[in-house]
Amino acid sequence: MTFEKVFDKFDWEEVKESIYSKTSLDVEIALRKKGKHTLEDFKALISPGASEYLEEMAQLSHSITQKRFGKTVQLYIPLYLSNECQNICTYCGFSFDNKIARRTLSNEEILKEVAEIKKLGFEHVLLVTGEANKTVGLDYLKNAIQLIRPFFSNISIEVQPLDTNEYAELIALGLYSVLVYQETYYRKNYSLHHTKGKKSNFSYRIETPERLGNAGVHKIGIGILIGLEDWRTDSFFTAMHLDYLEKKFWQTKYSISFPRLRPHANEHPSPEGEGVRAMSDKELTQLICAYRIFDEEVELSLSTRESPRFRDNIIKLGITSVSAGSKTNPGGYSVATESLEQFEVHDDRSPREIASMIRTKGYEAVWKDWDKGFTVSGLQFPVQIQNTE
């Protein structure tokens, strides 16, 4: 049975009502549980009633994270290869209907970007494109991975969903992980946010993590775009998706990200704006802690969409990786600083400033933590290497 078939057994409104009806007793039971937490526990932890227990949730989340991940925070950086896109999405600066200049990096430009990123100290890179299969399809991605593979320990991608055999080809070239966000699990309203292009196919999108699992990728990142629909209900379905994937592809690692809507070209959504489901910093803290209590193994990532103050204060409460020094436009580090950004960055501090902040919190900033090429007596072993700042 596929995840979509499991998903279709649930009704959005019924799940929402169940979350909002959770009581203080439900929250206390979840917080005091020993062993594996259930999805019903997760509902309680993300419910409005759990807001009164945020301090206890934060302490528990902090303890669990230190036990599993130690006092380290992974650093990564996005490398935008193209802003060309065939989708029309209401929330994205790259949307096809935005009449802006499009740019796709050449080999020479990619290498210039790599040179600047390496100067910053990064060993982990996330390749990002719009969804334009003819321009930045499989062949372009294969070329880009082969081009930069000698320079990075880990290569991740956040691009259009692909077929299983296409993912397998990229993995063979050195692809480490793939991030693919459903944006919202509310099928009824999905088409309102995705009006044209392949991304409007809800079923193909929601089946992508399973194709990745079947292809044998090392790590899968999932999540929602917070602000499109009710964040509590959407987060429940994300947790349900995670739970399903961990059981089916138990050898794979997983990560959850927490992108909130940010202003972008041709539109500047406000938390008070019509159609935008606002989420406060306190609620985002609650959600992060709820995920950590629910799943001790999952990696939790926070991008530069968030403010410096929030990122500084959330470090100890469950987050295991952060981006730093991000540019969200193709060529933004070296060759095209004036080109279109996908969204406005909120935390524009340099990577070194972020690393320094992490140290002041008593944690280590990890720039590199994985090498596959360690050989002993003619045999290859995967080895953990922590190169900390």
In angstroms, the CA 181 to CA 237 distance is: 12
Q: Is residue 73 part of a domain?
A: yes
Task: Give the tokens for residue 207.
Answer: 């089946």
Q: Is residue 328 part of a domain?
A: yes
Q: Is residue 365 part of a domain?
A: no
β-strand 253-257 against 219-222: which pairing, if any? parallel
Which tens digit of pLDDT belongs to each residue from 188-237? Answer: 999 999 988 888 999 999 999 999 999 999 999 999 999 999 999 999 99
Q: Is residue 369 part of a domain?
A: no
**Tally of residues, the chain:** 389
Q: Is residue 389 part of a domain?
A: no
In DSSP terms, 117 is beta-bridged to: none
Query: Looking at the predicted structure, is the pLDDT value of residue 266 above 70?
Result: no
Cα–Cα nearest to 358, from 333, 327, 323? 323
For residues 320 and 295, the answer to whether their CB atoms sit within 8 Å is: no
Structure confidence at residue 103 (pLDDT): 87
Could you tell me the residue range of the domain that residue 160 belongs to?
A: 3-359
The dihedral through the CA atoms of 37, 39, 41, 42 has a sign that is: positive
Angle at which helix 138-148 crosses helix 164-172, to 10 degrees, equals 20
In angstroms, the CA 12 to CA 14 distance is: 6
Q: Distance of CA 371 to CAs 152, 250, 351, 375, Å? A: 10, 21, 22, 10
Cα–Cα nearest to 240, from 203, 209, 277? 209
Which tens digit of pLDDT belongs to each residue from 50-94? Answer: 999 999 999 999 999 999 999 999 999 999 999 888 788 888 777
Angle at which helix 138-148 crosses helix 107-119, to 10 degrees, equals 40
Q: Is residue 348 part of a domain?
A: yes
In angstroms, the CA 319 to CA 298 distance is: 10
Confidence band for 275, pLDDT divided at 50, 70 and 90? very low
| Residue % of the chain over a pLDDT of 70 | 87
Domain count, the chain: 1
Q: Is residue 152 part of a domain?
A: yes
Query: What CATH number does the domain containing 147 carry?
Result: 3.20.20.70
In angstroms, the CA 168 to CA 140 distance is: 15
β-strand 379-383 against 371-376: which pairing, if any? antiparallel
Q: Is residue 87 part of a domain?
A: yes
In angstroms, the CA 206 to CA 197 distance is: 15
In angstroms, the CA 274 to CA 143 distance is: 42
Cα–Cα nearest to 332, from 348, 353, 310? 348
In DSSP terms, 374 is beta-bridged to: 381
Query: Looking at the predicted structure, is the pLDDT value of residue 277 above 70?
Result: no
Q: How many CA atoms lie within 13 A of 27 on its CB side?
A: 22
